[in-house]
Amino acid sequence: ITAIIVGGGVYLWQSFKTTAPDDTTNQQPPSITSNIKEYTSETYSFKYPGDDYSIVPPTTPFPVLTIEKARNKRAEIFQLSTFHDRSWGFDGTETQENIDGYVPKETLTVKSGDTQYDVWLYYGENDTQTKAELHNLFDSIVIK
């Protein structure tokens, strides 16, 4: 964890690396929703579980497309260059559930030519179903 103090606020950058457990013989694959919808815009398209997730379009003050099941179960697609350093704040009293809502478990990128989008995935530590759903969403992104 790296802490950055700016203008009286403390901002943290946290990076996670997820590894699979050694013994996966008794684990069941996560259930993936069968009602898959497709989102298409002028810039990209992707597939997502339509029954469980909703789309929050980007706005001028917050140019991020959010695909969310709940506050700490979502994907965000944006261009980091529009933020010039996206950060978030903590006061040190948050629960792990609140932190899961602020700090992405994974920060990924998808590129096509000179165009790059950042994709941040948020899910709980042991939430394998949401993780699998968000990875399927990420794998389906096509930049136009």
Residue range(s) defining the domain that contains residue 50: 36-143
> Would 25 be classed as within a structural domain?
no
> Would 3 be classed as within a structural domain?
no
Q: What is the pLDDT along the chain (144 residues), one digit of tens a residue?
A: 444 444 444 444 444 444 444 444 444 444 454 689 999 999 999 999 998 999 999 988 888 999 999 878 999 999 987 765 555 555 566 676 666 667 889 999 999 999 999 999 999 889 999 999 999 999 999 999
Domain count, the chain: 1
> Would 13 be classed as within a structural domain?
no
- Predicted TM-score (pTM) of the model is 0.70
Residue by residue, DSSP assigns 89-127 as: B--S---HHHHHHHS-SEEEEEEETTEEEEEEEE--TT-
